Amino acid sequence: MQLDNFNLTGKTALVTGSAGLLGIEHAAALLECGAQVILTDISEATLGYARSTLEVDFGVKKIITKVMDVSDEENIIKVSNSLCALGIRVDILVNNAAIDPKVSGDEGVTETSRLEHFSLEQWNLQIAVGLTGAFLCSKVFGKEMAKDCLGGVILNIASDLSVFSPDQRLYRKQGLSEDMQPVKPVTYSVIKAGLIGLTRYLATYWATEGVRCNALSPGGVFNGQNDNFVKHLSSLIPMGRMASRDEYRSAVQFLCSDASRYMNGQNIVIDGGRSVW
Ligand SMILES: NC(=O)c1ccc[n+]([C@@H]2O[C@H](COP(=O)([O-])OP(=O)(O)OC[C@H]3O[C@@H](n4cnc5c(N)ncnc54)[C@H](O)[C@@H]3O)[C@@H](O)[C@H]2O)c1
């Protein structure tokens, strides 16, 4: 039966940034297919909340959590070693962690999201997590997947902004001068486009050892944003609405399982059609 290809029983999946809005959904998707899931993020407290939510929802016990900062190579190696010591092989890696600061536009505050004001410190910090973090985790966990030739899957979570530029009109605030209008920061575009390059690179690098790599590019997820923003963004989407948080689960299940076993190096854009309009 073709649906058996989605079965992840016996596989272990590690999700980075898994205490966030989508990270917990990716973990749920993998649990639905029978995988053992390792939740990683930077805060013990938010990880604990994600773990108990998923344990209740799926009636499973003892989901493993690890505090892991994806920008810290030593920390990643330590987590990898601790899993190896427990006899756990990571078969699936979901590079999901990111710092996506909310665009502010607060009155009286210099709009630091604008390119002219964007600090090198923020550039380095956001790239360290969103892009370097995916490189470091792929390096550490991908190496282990390739080592015994049993292979594995790396899934990079990019964004619809990996294939087009942000429409800065979405973030405009009335009454602010042009040089104070908030924007989606440059780092977002650079990180997401960079992840697609990383995806293609990894797809060929360990292909003969059975490691596949693809990217998933979600469009905007509704999460209580203000009405104006939602209305404006929805008008740019042929389907006329933002995504709900669970609408990427099936794509994650497809990309992380044998259902996609001949797919490698691709970027699946799921954006209600925004990028084709
Ligand atoms: N939410 C959306 O609308 C949307 C749309 C397209 C793409 N995405 C992408 O999906 C992914 C998840 O987004 P989200 O909306 O769940 O964001 P989120 O902010 O809710 O979650 C991100 C998680 O990453 C964690 N994190 C931050 N720094 C870290 C570090 N150094 N090491 C490890 N973890 C760290 C945060 O603690 C947080 O739990 C991101 O890559 C984001 O760019 C989101």
- Mutation test of ligand 1: which of 41, 103, 233, 268 has the most ligand atoms closer than 8 Å to its C-beta? 41
Q: What is the DSSP letter of 222?
A: P
Mutate to test the pocket of ligand 1, among 73, 100, 199, 242 (most ligand atoms within 8 A of CB): 100
Sheet holding 211-218, edge to edge: 64-67, 36-41, 12-15, 92-95, 152-157, 211-218, 267-270
For residue 20, the CA-to-ligand 1 centroid distance in Å is: 6
Assess whether the C-beta atom of 23 lies below 6 angstroms from ligand 1. Answer: yes
Length of the chain: 277
User: Helix and strand tally (H, E) in the chain?
Assistant: 9, 7
First to last CA, the chain: 37
Query: Using an 8 Å Cβ cutoff, are 113 and 103 in contact?
Result: yes
Question: pLDDT band at residue 2, thresholds of 50, 70 and 90?
Answer: confident
Q: Rounded to whole angstroms, what are the CA distances from 243 to 31, 89, 189, 202, 272? A: 21, 33, 20, 28, 8
Q: Give the model's pLDDT for residue 61.
A: 82
Work out the percent of the chain whose per-residue pLDDT is above 90: 92
CA distance 75 to 266: 29
Q: Decide: 21 in ligand 1 pocket, CB within 6 A.
A: yes
CB 217 within 8 A of CB 187: no
Rounded CA gap, 46 and 57, in Å? 17
Check residue 1 and give its pLDDT: 80
SS3 115: coil
pLDDT of residue 107: 58
Tell me: the pLDDT tens digits for 140-161? 999 999 999 899 999 999 999 9
Question: pLDDT of 55-65, one tens digit each?
Answer: 999 988 889 99
Q: Is the pLDDT of residue 224 over 70?
A: yes
Instruction: Tokens 């810290």: give the residue.
Output: 72
Q: Quick check: 234 pLDDT over 70? A: yes
Write down the pTM of the prediction. 0.97
- Overall average pLDDT of the 223-243 stretch: 97
Q: Which residues pair with 13 in a beta bridge?
A: 37, 92
> What are the phi and psi torsion angles at 113 (to 5°)?
-75, -25
DSSP reduced 3-state for 200? helix
**CA–CA dist 197, 154 (Å, integer):** 13
pLDDT tens for each residue of 69-126 = 999 999 999 999 999 999 999 999 999 999 987 766 665 567 899 999 999 999 999 9
Burial of 110 from C-beta contacts in 10 A (0-12 / 13-18 / 19+): exposed
Mean pLDDT of the chain: 96
Taking alpha carbons only, the member of 31, 76, 75 closest to residue 50 is 31
